[in-house]
Amino acid sequence: MHKTRRTGRLRAVLAAGFAATLLLGTAAAATAAPPAPAEGQKYVIATDTTFAPFEFRDPSTGDLIGIDMDLMNTIAEQQGFEVEIRSLGFQAALSAVQSGQADGVIAGMSITDERKEIFDFSEPYFESGVQMAVAADDTSISGYEDLAGETVVAKSGSEGLAEAEKLAEKYDFTVKALDQSATMYESVKNRSAVAVFDDYPVLAYGIDQGNGLKVVTEKIPGGEYGFAVAKGQNPELIAAFNDGLAELKADGGYQKILDSYLGAAESGGGASGGNIFQLVGQSWPALSKGLWNTVSITVVSFVIALVLGLIFGFMKISTSRVVRGIASVYVAIFRGTPILVWAFLFYFGLPQLTGAPGNVFLAGVATLSLNAGAYLTEIVRGGIQSVDPGQLEAARSLGLGWGRSMQRVVVPQAVKMSMPSIINQLVITLKDSSLLLTIGFAELLYQAQQIYAANFRTTEMLIIVGVMYFVVITLLTWLANIVDKKVNK
């Protein structure tokens, strides 16, 4: 397989050997822990998208904050290593560590026996467990027995899901797994599910922030949170985390971090107060970042797509069957498969094959440009073919070569005729860029999701980004039409 795996396994073997030596050795064990991370060594740490108060976006800056984030950053600083946080979603974060795409995961992850088979955990840093919550105004559910025939939701790959599934058979209800906390809470509020199973510190925090839920059953105890690495890999990272945690607990830093989030929850509200204009104001830093990402990835992808469209478009009118065939296969593949499949493939699949780390921007550009390129190929082909062949013949009979005739006579007319379709494709590509939120690309809709996951003002946030998309697309279309008139008059 790929390199990281192999070195990982090698490291595991070394670590095991090392441990054995320690066991054979003497009391020196306590000091002769795995070597400390090299000064300035960088680790990729995966986390959930939103699991407030452990990881969530600061609604006013768009920065990832929370107990987990503060712990990780403080410990890294103290122990002299660097971290690059990747906010992927819970299930995806676990997979990233298993596949070697991330070095560790901190995501309010419960230490369980099953997980210990695949992960090595730090010392526990937070006591937690699962609880059920229902809509605040729901009077029909007051215990598990009221769930018969109903649907409940929980997060994919989580202990909440495992607990719900354990109860489902006895109490005869259906469990649906969802990827994000915000979606789970929304499903309960809009009654597509009657209850959510989630960790109680997180539920308590959300309820305090006004997420519109309430708890009606007892906590299901068990499940302390730990920082994790893939089994046998990065032992020095776990050791450094443990050292840092112990230090933070001793010097009060740990308690300070907890207080800064849990204390704030008690005061309630935070950024979630105010009317819609204040909400726009508070979220503007994050939203404008998202808007910038949306526009820049669209522009970069579209320029590449235009080049692809021109190349393959001309290939499609080639006299060579092979050349035509290649272009047709390209178009067929990208028109015949969903964009999301390619986004996942480029972001999760390709790095696994090549061993290179996934890059969300590049994966996004590849996805959008190849997709739009396929449609532009057809637009270019159609444009050229719509020019009366007599014109090419006429140009050539006047002594112009094929290239010249194309350039001077056919292409200008083709461009003019194709322009509306090209602009249309630009708008489609901009809208499609929102799909990239699924691979964690921080575009406009992603930012909105992150914000409403923390402040629970879902409807308003969606209206705000809807208006933003609309304004940008209208401006872009207007601009493109001006260019069109200038160029093609």
- Within 10 angstroms of residue 183's Cβ, the number of other Cβ atoms is 16
Residue whose entry in the numeric block shows the structure tokens 């990747």: 86
User: Do the Cβ atoms of 213 and 134 come closer than 8 Å?
Assistant: yes
Strands 104-105 and 228-230: antiparallel
Q: Which residue, 107 or 287, has its beta carbon nearer to ligand GLN?
A: 107
**Contacts with ligand GLN, 210-249, as mask; x by CB under 6 A:** -------------x--------------------------
Per CB under 6 A, 110 contacts ligand GLN: yes
108 Cβ contact list (under 8 Å, min separation 6): 48, 51, 54, 55, 68, 126, 128, 199, 201, 202, 225
Q: Which of 199, 236, 378, 443 binds ligand GLN (CB under 6 A)?
A: 199
Applying CB under 6 A, the span of 106-114, 145-153, 408-416, 444-452 interacting with ligand GLN comes to: 106-114
Nearest distance in Å: CB 233, ligand GLN:
19
* Residue 88 dihedral angles phi and psi, to the nearest 5°: -115, -20
Stretch that binds ligand GLN, among 107-115, 254-262, 295-303, 435-443 (CB under 6 A): 107-115
Is there a contact between 384 and 313 (Cβ–Cβ < 8 Å)? Answer: yes
Q: Verify binding: residue 454, ligand GLN, rule CB under 6 A.
A: no
From 154-162, 396-404, 411-419, 429-437, span contacting ligand GLN (CB under 6 A): 154-162
Residues 23-62 that bind ligand GLN (CB under 6 A): 48, 51
CB 120 to ligand GLN: min, Å: 15
How many angstroms separate the CA atoms of 157 and 136, rounded?
26
The smaller minimum CB distance to ligand GLN, of residues 262 and 350, is found at 262
- Segments in 399-457 forming alpha helices (H): 402-405, 411-432, 444-455
The correct pick among 155, 289, 316, 381 for binding ligand GLN (CB under 6 A) is 155
What's the CA gap between 4 and 356, in Å, rounded? Answer: 9
Could you say which residues in the range 287-326 bind ligand GLN, by CB under 6 A? none
- Choose the binding region for ligand GLN from 5-13, 157-165, 264-272, 378-386 (rule: CB under 6 A): 157-165
Alpha-carbon separation of residue 322 from 151, 176, 377, 386, 424 (angstroms): 54, 49, 16, 23, 30
Q: CB-wise, 223 or 232, nearer to ligand GLN? A: 223
Q: Which stretch binds ligand GLN (CB under 6 A): 105-113, 367-375, 393-401, 439-447?
A: 105-113
Q: Is the peptide bond before 389 cis (omega within 30 degrees of 0)?
A: no
SS3 for 195?
strand
CA distance 464 to 279: 9
* Residue 69 CB, nearest approach to ligand GLN (Å): 13
Residue 89 binds ligand GLN (CB under 6 A): no
Binding residue for ligand GLN, selected from 90, 197, 342, 347, defined by CB under 6 A? 90
Among 107, 220, 230, 451, binds ligand GLN (CB under 6 A): 107
Nearer Cβ to ligand GLN (238/339): 238
By CB under 6 A, tell whether 109 contacts ligand GLN.
Answer: yes
Q: Which is nearer to ligand GLN, 204 or 480 (CB)?
A: 204
Judged by beta carbon, residue 223 or residue 383, the one nearer ligand GLN is 223
> Which positions ≥6 away from 252 have C-beta within 8 Å?
none
Decide: helix, strand or coil at residue 131. Answer: strand
State the CB neighbour count (10 A cutoff) for residue 299: 14
Q: How many residues at the interface with ligand GLN, by CB under 6 A? A: 14
Mapped onto helix, strand or coil, the DSSP state of residue 331 is helix
Closer residue to ligand GLN (CB): 123 or 460:
123
Look at phi and psi of residue 340 and say left if phi exceeds 0, alpha if psi is from -120 to 50, else beta. alpha
Nearer to ligand GLN, 162 or 480 (CB): 162
Per the listing, tokens 């989630």 go with: 198
Residue 110 or 377: the one with the smaller Cβ distance to ligand GLN is 110
Q: Min. distance of Cβ 181 from ligand GLN in angstroms?
A: 7
The distance of closest approach from Cβ of residue 362 to ligand GLN in the complex, given in angstroms and rounded to an integer, is: 27
Decide if residue 86 touches ligand GLN (CB under 6 A): no
Closer residue to ligand GLN (CB): 108 or 309: 108
Residues 6+ apart with CB under 8 A from 131: 197, 198, 199, 200, 203, 215, 217, 218, 219, 220
Using CB under 6 A, which of 58, 138, 159, 163 touches ligand GLN?
159
Distances in Å between the alpha carbon of 360 and those of 59, 61, 347?
22, 21, 6
The Cα–Cα gap between 84 and 62 comes to 16
- Out of 53, 62, 104, 108, name the contact with ligand GLN by CB under 6 A: 108
Binding site for ligand GLN (CB under 6 A): 48, 51, 90, 107-110, 128, 155, 158-160, 199, 223
